[in-house]
Chains A and B, each alone.
Chain A
Amino acid sequence: MRRVVDISKHELVPKHEVMSEEEAKELLERLNITKGQLPKILKSDPMVQKIKAKPGDIIKITRKSPTAGTTIYYRVVVNE
C-alpha cells in the first residue's frame, strides 16, 4: 500500500493559509502594491495544492525565524 504523507505535518513545512478577499485587499493597500509585486508561488507547489489555492490567491505563510521568532510572509499563486 502506498503511504500518503501529509506534508503540512512536516516539521520543516510552515503554516500556509489562503487569505480572504478582504484580508488580501487590506494587505495590498497597506503595502501600497499590486499583486504583481508580491513574491510568487507556483500553483503546482505541493502546499498550494493541498490548501486548494487558485491562481491569484494570496497565501499567508507563518514561518519560524531565527531572528524574530515567528514571521509572516505573503506569496501570490501564479500559473507558471
Chain B
Amino acid sequence: MRIIPKKVERIKFGLLSPEMIRKLAEVKIVTADTYDEDGYPIEGGLMDPRLGVVDPGLRCKTCGSRVGDCPGHFGRIELARPVIHVGYAKLINKILRSTCRECGRVLLPEEKIEEFREELKRAKKIGKNEEPIVEELFKLARASKTCPHCGAEQMDIKFEKPTTFIEVVEGRQHRLSPIEVRERLERVTDGDAEVMGFDVSVARPEWMVLTVLLVPPVTVRPSITLESGERSEDDLTHKLVDIIRINQRLEENMEAGAPQLIIEDLWELLQYHVTTYFNNEVAGVPPARHRSGRPLKTLAQRLKGKEGRFRSNLSGKRVNYSARTVISPDPNLSINEVGVPEIIARELTIPEIVTPMNIERLKKLVRNGPHRYPGANYVERPDGARLSLARVRDIDELLEKIEPGWKVHRHLIDGDIVLFNRQPSLHRMSIMAHEVKVLPYKTFRLNLCVCPPYNADFDGDEMNLHAIQSQEARAEARVLMRVQEQILSPRFGGPIIGGIHDHISGAYLLTQPEVRFTKEEAFHLLYASGIKKPLPEPAYEENGRAYYTGKQIFSMLLPEDLTLRYKAKVCKKCEVCKEEECEYDAYVVIEKGELKCGVMDEKSFGAFAGELLDRIVKDYGTDAAREFLDRVTKLVINFITWRGFSTGIDDEDLPEEAKERIAEILDDAEKSVFELIRAYNDKILEQLPGRTLEETLEMRIMEVLSEARDKTGAIANEYLEREERRRRHENSARIMAVSGARGSLLNLTQMAACVGQQSVRGERIKRGYSGRTLPHFKVGDISARAKGFVRSSYKQGLSPLEFFFHNMGGREGLVDTAVRTSQSGYMQRRLINALQDLKVEYDHTVRDTRGVIVEFQHGEDGSDPSRTDWGKMVNVKNIVQKYARMEAE
C-alpha cells in the first residue's frame, strides 16, 4: 500500500443529524440478542456481521475486507421516542431560556441580534474566542419576559440536572418532554442559531435531541472469548443491549396503547440508558453497573482522565525494546555504566546491518539463537521480512542465506548504549544514557553517584531501560545524554552528580591530618581504586618505617596542575578566617594537584555541592570528571571499609553535666514562658508592631522556646565534641552531620538533647478540647508543655502527652507531603504543557513554534547556566587566584 502524506489543515466539529446517522449506518439494529445458540451472530443484532469483522479469517459482509483492513461499519437504533443527549443538556437549557416558547426567535430585538452577529463576525476574523460573546447574548436574552418578535409571554424554565426541563406556567410546573424540547429547538431559525454559536451547516440545535442512535462498529467494542470458551461482551455492548431492550418495550407499549404513565416511565428509563451510555459518571444519575457491581466503562470514561484514551494511549504509549526491574547498587560500576541482568539482555535486541566486516561475528550470534547468550532473536531480510530465530528449524540453511544487507537483531552486549530512566521524570537528568554491562541475577545495577539525579534509592525502586534502535539515536545519546555529560546541572551550574553518604564520610576520615599508611597499605588502597601512578615521597618516617598521609593518597586522584582554594563544609564561619592555620582543618588548599591542607567533605565532591568536582568538570572536561568520581568513590569506600565506621545509640550519650545544663536551660525557658504569660495577664507585655497582644505573646513564647532548643543543641554538640576528643573515640553520628554525609545537627539535637516545640499549621498546638489541648490541663493553660513543647530527647523517650503532641505534628507533616506532591505534580504538568515547545534559536531568542518571541536573550544574558560558575558568568575569585599564581611564578 502506498502511503500518501497528508497534512491536516483544520478540523471542524459538528453534530450528526438523524439523516447523517441513517446514511452512515449499514445496519438497523432491531434485536437485543447478540449470538444464537450455535454461537453465530444474529442479523440485526448488535454483533451483526455487517458491522465489521473481529474474527480472523472471516471477511466483512459490508466491505469484503479481512480483519486488519476492515475499519468496521456503523449501525443505528431508531429510538421509539426522542431523548436528550446529556453532553448538550446545558446548552439546550441556555437555548430554551433565551428563545421564544412560541415563535422560537432569540428574545432580543432585531437590532441587538444584528449587533451580536457583527461582533461574532469580527471575533471569527481575528481568531478571538467567540464563547464570551455568545455567553453575553444568552445572559441578555434570558432576562426578557416577553418576546420582542411575536409578543408572547415567556415562562420560567427550570433545568433539573441532568436531563429534565421544567416550565413554570401560571405557578404550575410542567415537565417538558424531549419531544417538546425538540419542537422548540426546531423552531429556532438558522440565523438565530448562528448568533448562538452554531454553524448550521454542520450543527442544528434540534440534533442535540436524539431520534436515532449511532451504534459503533464491533471493532470498537470487541467481545473477548475466555479460556473456558465463554464469550464476554464489552461494556459498550452491554449498554447498547439495555438501550435496545427498553426501546423495544417502549415501542410495544406504545403500539398496544398502554397508559400514558407506563409509557412515560419507560421513556424515562430509555433516557437513563442513553445517558449512561454516553457518560456513566453524570452527577445525579446512579451509574449503570455490571452484574458484579463494577460500574460500566462507557464512552466518556474511555476518553477521560489518566487512564483515558488521551493520556494513556495518545500522549503516552507503551513501547517495545524496553525493560523494567528493581535497582540495586554496585560501587564497582562506572557512573556511565548500568548493570543489566542476562535475562533482560537476551530479551532486548539491537538491529545490526550485516556487512563484510561483521558477517562472521553476526553469524556466530545467529547460530547461538535466542536462548544462548550472546545470541540474536530475529534476522531481517533486505525486503523487511522478519524471521524469528526461535522458530527457525534449519539454522545452517538460514546462515547460508545471510549476506550483507540483512539485519540481525542481536542481544544487548557490554558497551551498548541504552537509555535509563526513573519516574517521575522531573528533569532531563531523569533519563540518561548508560553503557551496558551484562551481569548475573535479576536487578539493574547502578553506581551510587547517579542516585541523586534520578532521586533513586534501593528500598524497592524500579527503573526502566530502553535499547536504542538506530545508529543516529545511539550517537546522539552518547554525545548528549551520557551520564558524564550530565554532571553539571542546568539548574544552578554546579554538579548534580557526586558522592553521597559513605563517600563523604569516607573522604572526611581519609583526609584527617593524623591518618597515615604504610607503603603496603597505600598500595592496597591505590590498587583497589584503580590508580596506576607511582607513589610520591613518603610524608615522614618513624622508627625506620615510611608513612604516607591520607591527604597524600587523596592527592593522587587530582589532576597534576590543579590549584584551588575553598572553605569546606565543616567550616565554622569564624569572624576572621585563619585560612591555612584553621584549627578545624576546614580551609582547603590544593596546589599543583596536591592537597596541602583542609579536609574533603560534602563541599569537595558531594552531589549538589562539590566545589572540587565542579572545577574538575569545568577545567578538565567530563572524561576527567568521570574518572575522578569513579576513582574517588572506590578509594574512599575501600578506605572506610578497611577502617570501619558505624553508629549506635551511644553516639548520643551525654555526660551528666551536659544533661544538667540542658535541663537548666529548659527550666529557664519554661520559666520565662510563665513570665511572659504573667506579663500578658498583668497587661504589661509590650505589643509588637502589626500584631495583637495575643499574637505577640504567642510569638514571644515560640521565640523563647526555639531559642532554648537551639541552646540545648549547641550544648549537646559541645559535649559530644569534647567527649570525642577526651576519649579519642570518634562520634560517627556527629561526623556524618558535620561532614554533610547524612543527617544534620538538628537531628542530633533532637536525639540527644531536646525534641522541641511541635507545631500544627505553624502554630503551637491549640486544637483539641475547648480552651485546652487535652483534659490533663486546666482550661486556659498556655504554658509550654500544655501547648506541645517536647522537652525530652528521642533518646530519653517522650512522655505520653509529649508523644501525643509529637504525633499531631508528625501527622501534619505526612499529610502535607502527600498533598504537596500531587499538587506540585499537577502544577508541573500544566507548566510543561505551556512551555514544552519553546526553543532557543540561533540568534539567542526564545521562541515558540509560531515564531512568537518570548525572550530576546535567553535568560537575559544569553548564558547556559550549566557552563557558568553557579549561575555567574565570570568567576572573579578564580581569575584573581589564577593571575596571582602567574605573578608569583
B851 CB contacts on chain A under 8 angstroms: 33, 37
- The verdict on B574 contacting chain A, using a C-beta distance below 8 Å, is no
- The verdict on B258 contacting chain A, using a C-beta distance below 8 Å, is no
Inter-subunit contact A68/B856 (CB<8 Å): no
Q: Which of B35-43, B438-446, B858-866 contacts A (4 or more CB under 8 A)?
A: B858-866
Inter-subunit contact B857/A33 (CB<8 Å): no
Inter-subunit contact A67/B856 (CB<8 Å): no
Inter-subunit contact A73/B852 (CB<8 Å): no
Tell me the nearest residue of chain B to A80, going by C-beta: B128
Once the chains are docked, how many angstroms separate the CA of A66 from the CA of B871?
Answer: 10
A36 to chain B, nearest CB (A): 8
Give the interface centre of A33, A38, A67 by most chain B CB atoms within 10 Å.
A67
The one of A38, A39, A71 in contact with B857, judged by C-beta atoms closer than 8 angstroms, is A71
Inter-subunit contact A72/B856 (CB<8 Å): yes
- The verdict on B98 contacting chain A, using a C-beta distance below 8 Å, is no
Tell me the nearest residue of chain B to A64, going by C-beta: B860
6 smallest A-B Cβ distances: which pairs?
A68-B861, A71-B860, A67-B861, A65-B860, A68-B860, A37-B852
B856 CB contacts on chain A under 8 angstroms: 31, 71-74
Between-chain CB contacts (< 8 Å), 29 pairs = A31-B843, A31-B845, A31-B853, A31-B856, A33-B851, A33-B853, A36-B852, A37-B850, A37-B851, A37-B853, A38-B852, A38-B853, A39-B853, A39-B854, A65-B860, A65-B861, A67-B859, A67-B860, A67-B863, A67-B871, A68-B857, A68-B859, A68-B860, A68-B861, A71-B856, A71-B857, A71-B861, A72-B856, A74-B856
Tell me the nearest residue of chain B to A34, going by C-beta: B851
Tell me the nearest residue of chain A to B873, going by C-beta: A67
A39 CB contacts on chain B under 8 angstroms: 852-854
**How many residues of chain A get a CB closer than 8 Å to chain B's CBs?**
13
Report B806-843 CB contacts with A as 1/0, cut-off 8 Å: 00000000000000000000000000000000000001
Report B848-889 CB contacts with A as 1/0, cut-off 8 Å: 001111101101111100000001000000000000000000
Once the chains are docked, how many angstroms separate the CA of A60 from the CA of B860?
Answer: 15
Once the chains are docked, how many angstroms separate the CA of A31 from the CA of B842?
Answer: 11
B843 CB contacts on chain A under 8 angstroms: 31
B771 to chain A, nearest CB (A): 46
- What interface size band does chain B fall in? 10 to 19
Once the chains are docked, how many angstroms separate the CA of A73 from the CA of B845?
Answer: 11
Report A49-80 CB contacts with B as 1/0, cut-off 8 Å: 00000000000000001011001111000000
A65 CB contacts on chain B under 8 angstroms: 860-861
Once the chains are docked, how many angstroms separate the CA of A25 from the CA of B693?
Answer: 63
B847 CB contacts on chain A under 8 angstroms: 37
Given A67-B871, A71-B861, 19 extra CB contacts under 8 A: A31-B853, A33-B851, A33-B853, A36-B852, A37-B851, A37-B853, A38-B853, A39-B853, A39-B854, A65-B861, A67-B859, A67-B863, A68-B857, A68-B860, A68-B862, A71-B856, A71-B860, A73-B856, A74-B856
B859 CB contacts on chain A under 8 angstroms: 67-68
B276 to chain A, nearest CB (A): 43
B854 CB contacts on chain A under 8 angstroms: 39
Tell me the nearest residue of chain B to A73, going by C-beta: B856
Tell me the nearest residue of chain A to B858, going by C-beta: A67
Tell me the nearest residue of chain A to B871, going by C-beta: A67
B871 CB contacts on chain A under 8 angstroms: 67
B863 CB contacts on chain A under 8 angstroms: 67
Once the chains are docked, how many angstroms separate the CA of A71 from the CA of B871?
Answer: 17
Once the chains are docked, how many angstroms separate the CA of A31 from the CA of B854?
Answer: 13
A38 CB contacts on chain B under 8 angstroms: 852-853
A60 to chain B, nearest CB (A): 11
Once the chains are docked, how many angstroms separate the CA of A72 from the CA of B852?
Answer: 17
A35 to chain B, nearest CB (A): 11
Once the chains are docked, how many angstroms separate the CA of A33 from the CA of B845?
Answer: 12
Tell me the nearest residue of chain B to A67, going by C-beta: B861
Report A18-45 CB contacts with B as 1/0, cut-off 8 Å: 0000000000000101001111000000
B861 CB contacts on chain A under 8 angstroms: 65, 67-68, 71
A68 CB contacts on chain B under 8 angstroms: 857, 859-862
B888 to chain A, nearest CB (A): 33
A7 to chain B, nearest CB (A): 23
Once the chains are docked, how many angstroms separate the CA of A36 from the CA of B863?
Answer: 27
Tell me the nearest residue of chain A to B872, going by C-beta: A67
Report B676-712 CB contacts with A as 1/0, cut-off 8 Å: 0000000000000000000000000000000000000
Tell me the nearest residue of chain B to A30, going by C-beta: B843
A79 to chain B, nearest CB (A): 9
A40 to chain B, nearest CB (A): 9
Once the chains are docked, how many angstroms separate the CA of A54 from the CA of B185?
Answer: 46
Once the chains are docked, how many angstroms separate the CA of A6 from the CA of B616?
Answer: 52
Tell me the nearest residue of chain B to A65, going by C-beta: B860
A67 CB contacts on chain B under 8 angstroms: 859-861, 863, 871
B850 CB contacts on chain A under 8 angstroms: 37
Once the chains are docked, how many angstroms separate the CA of A68 from the CA of B863?
Answer: 9
A10 to chain B, nearest CB (A): 21
A1 to chain B, nearest CB (A): 29
A74 CB contacts on chain B under 8 angstroms: 856
B862 CB contacts on chain A under 8 angstroms: 68
Once the chains are docked, how many angstroms separate the CA of A71 from the CA of B858?
Answer: 11
Once the chains are docked, how many angstroms separate the CA of A71 from the CA of B843?
Answer: 16
A76 to chain B, nearest CB (A): 10
B129 to chain A, nearest CB (A): 11
Once the chains are docked, how many angstroms separate the CA of A61 from the CA of B862?
Answer: 18
B857 CB contacts on chain A under 8 angstroms: 68, 71
A75 to chain B, nearest CB (A): 10
A31 CB contacts on chain B under 8 angstroms: 843, 845, 853, 856
Once the chains are docked, how many angstroms separate the CA of A36 from the CA of B847?
Answer: 13
Tell me the nearest residue of chain A to B861, going by C-beta: A68
A66 to chain B, nearest CB (A): 8
B508 to chain A, nearest CB (A): 35
Once the chains are docked, how many angstroms separate the CA of A68 from the CA of B844?
Answer: 14
Give the interface centre of B851, B854, B862, B863 by most chain A CB atoms within 10 Å.
B851
A36 CB contacts on chain B under 8 angstroms: 852
B852 CB contacts on chain A under 8 angstroms: 36-39
A18 to chain B, nearest CB (A): 18
A67 to chain B, nearest CB (A): 4
A3 to chain B, nearest CB (A): 24
A34 to chain B, nearest CB (A): 9
Once the chains are docked, how many angstroms separate the CA of A71 from the CA of B857?
Answer: 9
Tell me the nearest residue of chain A to B862, going by C-beta: A68
A62 to chain B, nearest CB (A): 12
Once the chains are docked, how many angstroms separate the CA of A65 from the CA of B857?
Answer: 12
A41 to chain B, nearest CB (A): 13
A72 CB contacts on chain B under 8 angstroms: 856
